[in-house]
Structure 1
Amino acid sequence: MNRPSTRGPPGPIRFRTSLHNTIYDVLKARGWKETDSDTDWELNWASIEWMRENFDHMHLDDSQRVSHFRNMYELTRKDLLIKNLKRMRKTLEKEDKHAEAAKYDFFPSTFVLPAEYGLFHEEYKKQPGSVWIMKPIGKAQGKGIFLFNKLSQISEWRKDHKWKADSPQAETYIVQRYIENPYLIGGKKFDLRIYVMVTSYNPLTVYLYRSGFGRFSNERFSMRKDEIQNNFIHLTNVAIQKTNPEYQAGTGCKWSLRSLKLYLMSKHGPDAVNESFYEIQQMIIRSLLSVQKVIINDKHSFEVYGYDALIDEDLKPWLIEVNASPSLTADTPADYQLKFGMLDDAMTLLDLEHKLTGKEDQV
């Protein structure tokens, strides 16, 4: 990335963070100064817990920035993301913008459980034996996710979870039609991690980082009924794959986004692949537009999201989820280099040192 010319600030930027991984290294490498002060900082790379407990009670001055929006969960909580996408599609249809509404087709048929169990049941009956995936809304790293193709498997799960539709204690899940035709490389499923930075929701100001990576399953893909419960086939989360005895970091479980694009171009030509990646960009923008009116826009806030997308065998992209706190811990030197570069560019965009002219569309 081309960088603007640099000039030194009057003093080092002060930052506060509880993380000691790649972001900490980036901030120190920029010559910024760590502080443990509750209020005396220009940058707070904050946890979501810190936001929940402190943000509403603080008065921030113009020079201070915090690494989350107040209610980012409208985008990053699985059930609320789906709710906002569906609402956006419905709003566009009411406004007779049917062509644009039809473009909100990048998420599979999805229901929130237990509240929408009846609706899900009706949908399932249209195609008995189809495969669905269950995801708890409040967990990360693949925890609590499972696939099923029989309603009896849900019945057993409901008993285990003491789960009643009208129970306020019931853990909320989403149930999604499983994408049964993912694009395979070497017979294995993969998804894409793409980094996105939003500096404002009004006006919507968003930057996509050019580099990202693909995460591969450790075992060859299969839709056989006796393999449905095998998470090493169906889930690409590194946290899941690391528990496989065959897992070896750096030996094929992660590819750079560039390597993936080159591979796909060798199979399908540049036009088809560029179109697919353009659709991924449009998918990201549409997801952000769907929450633009509900996210509390604050001039002190910015956010780096980790978007997870999947490409099917027709090169159609699907949105899997959006992460508000994507892992910044690196498991290989290449992973570290990618995350360091991404975060360093994010800090350049944040422009706490007032080096940018305001006319840049990329850095």
Structure 2
Amino acid sequence: MTEMVRKITLSRAVRTMQDLFPEEYNFYPRSWILPEEFPLFVAEVRMMKENDPAWKPTFIVKPDGGCQGDGIYLIKDPSDIRLAGNLQSRPAVVQEYICKPLLIDKLKFDIRLYVLLKSLEPLEIYIAKDGLSRFCTEPYQEPTLKNLHQVFMHLTNYSLNIHSGNFIHSDSVNTGSKRTFSSILYRLSSKGVDIKKVWSDIISLVIKTIVALTPELKVYYQSDIPTGKPGPTCFQILGFDILLMKNLKPMLLEVNANPSMRIEHEQELSPGVFENVPSPVDEEVKVAVIRDTLRLMDPYKKKKKDNLSQPSEPASEKKEQLSEGGSTDKLEHDSSKNPEASLPSPCLKQVFPKYAKQFNYLRLVERVAALFIRFLGVKGTTRLGPTGFRTFVRNCKLSNSNFSMATVDILYIDITRRWNSMGMDHKESAPSV
């Protein structure tokens, strides 16, 4: 998963889906991969400027393996890319910068949402009902040559803005430089914004992104996880970073495979002396995510449910017991039988397969990957031998009276000879799936 959500891999996966379903995948900024697509980037920008002379774009360059805002910078022209240095050893993605974000208190912010990928087969996705809103610490202005380097204005990364003198640590989840997403939604709702529509668009973005990642992820998974094991053998909590545009359309910035789960921050007491201070907003969101992930992934949950299942009492009797004296004893007895009865209501909401019907038509590439796994039966990039090639031909029902197994063997030898005669450059560029 860490490999799948790196900036270059994510961009490639989403681009594949953009080629197939351009209208459905317009939530990801136009992107180019450096250094291999630098000439293409230059040519496309030049062409777009010629077609629309009024277009004054800004681009953001993100190192592929970077995190916490490291190495990110803004440019106005392709010629400003820092080709000198180690771009060859540290590839990057360059994206069209979103110049018109939604502002709160004149500040740009992004949303960190936690997504649980419970299993791949069947695909199960949960989204936390609340997230974090992380604010810049300088009032936003559209990018100009003068303010391009003002990171506290343009980059929402918490790890950068915490070093700003304007960063506000707050004991309230509704104020400060890091707040709950629900507090932002409350403010928007008070201004007449359709909050259900905002959430619906975000859920759609999350599902479509995971659908884009799933095909290759399944191939890797199949190569590492033994087949035939019942139930999910692993899970992942993902951190989706999303930006709301001025028109409230959500845009995907990136996906984190290992999002921070810290619920405290460092405070400098004196020069060089720090202490860890609780962060109410982090605790509010992250504790619920971890707690509910463990509840959902508990491998013995079904067994416990079966053991605890007893005939339920009529609802009228339950009401009477709760309103009568001594009902506390009854509740304590219930919670001792089922510890989850005393826990808060779940914060993780299932969005897939709940909304599967709406998105199944997008799973085209995933079905191709399933065919690859089923018919080739190979692990990852393991080379296919002559017996495996015969099995593949049989499973695909390609052999007939005119295409005998002897012909299949000759075809295998011919393909192998051609492959071995290819240069290494061609082999490396050939797709594995």
Q: TM-score, normalised by structure 2?
A: 0.60
**Equivalent position SS for 1:293:** helix
Offset at 1:276? 1.9
Aligned AA (1:261): L
Superposed CA deviations along residues 156-192 of structure 1, whole A, max 9, x for unmatched, are: x112x154xxxxx431100000000000011100000
Offset at 1:274? 1.6
Confirm whether residue 338 of structure 1 aligns to residue 285 of structure 2. Answer: yes
Offset at 1:320? 0.4
Q: Greater CA deviation, 201-210 or 302-311?
A: 201-210
**Equivalent position SS for 1:215:** strand
Confirm whether residue 265 of structure 1 aligns to residue 185 of structure 2. Answer: no
Aligned pair count? 273
Confirm whether residue 290 of structure 1 aligns to residue 237 of structure 2. Answer: no
Name the structure 2 match of 1:131: 58
Name the structure 1 match of 2:75: 148
Q: 1:210 aligns with which of 119, 124, 129?
A: 129
Contact 1:213 1:255 in 2 (8 A): yes
Name the structure 2 match of 1:280: 202
Q: 1:109 aligns with which of 21, 30, 50?
A: 30
Offset at 1:357? 5.6
Confirm whether residue 302 of structure 1 aligns to residue 235 of structure 2. Answer: yes
Distance 1:258 1:352, change over 3 A: same
Offset at 1:123? 2.4
1: distance between equivalents of 2:205 and 2:349? 20
Aligned AA (2:15): K
Q: 2:180 aligns with which of 256, 262, 283?
A: 256
Aligned AA (1:190): F
2: distance between equivalents of 1:226 and 1:268? 36
2: distance between equivalents of 1:221 and 1:138? 27
**Equivalent position SS for 1:174:** strand
Contact 1:129 1:150 in 2 (8 A): no
Superposed CA deviations along residues 94-149 of structure 1, whole A, max 9, x for unmatched, are: xxxxxxx4111001110000011111112222237411000001011010000011
Contact 1:276 1:316 in 2 (8 A): yes
**Equivalent position SS for 2:191:** helix
Contact 1:202 1:292 in 2 (8 A): no
Q: 1:158 aligns with which of 83, 107, 114?
A: 83
Give the gaps of 5 or more residues in structure 1: 1-70, 93-100, 164-168
2: distance between equivalents of 1:162 and 1:337? 41
**Equivalent position SS for 2:101:** coil
**Equivalent position SS for 2:253:** strand
Superposed CA deviations along residues 186-206 of structure 1, whole A, max 9, x for unmatched, are: 110000010000111222101
Contact 2:178 2:281 in 1 (8 A): no
Confirm whether residue 227 of structure 1 aligns to residue 122 of structure 2. Answer: no
1: distance between equivalents of 2:65 and 2:148? 23
Identity %: 30
Superposed CA deviations along residues 293-312 of structure 1, whole A, max 9, x for unmatched, are: 11134432100000000000
Bigger relative contact order, structure 1 or 2 (CA pairs below 8 A, ≥6 apart): 1
Give the gaps of 5 or more residues in structure 2: 50-54, 226-231, 266-278, 307-345, 351-433
Contact 1:196 1:206 in 2 (8 A): yes
2: distance between equivalents of 1:151 and 1:116? 12
Contact 2:127 2:349 in 1 (8 A): no
Contact 2:237 2:257 in 1 (8 A): yes
2: distance between equivalents of 1:198 and 1:265? 29
Would you tell me which structure has more helix in proportion to its own residues? Answer: 2
Q: 1:184 aligns with which of 103, 110, 117?
A: 103
Q: 2:3 aligns with which of 67, 70, 73?
A: 73
Aligned AA (1:275): K
Q: Greater CA deviation, 324-333 or 289-298?
A: 289-298
2: distance between equivalents of 1:288 and 1:114? 26
Confirm whether residue 313 of structure 1 aligns to residue 261 of structure 2. Answer: no
| Higher-Rg member (1/2) | 2
Offset at 1:72? 4.2
Offset at 1:352? 3.0
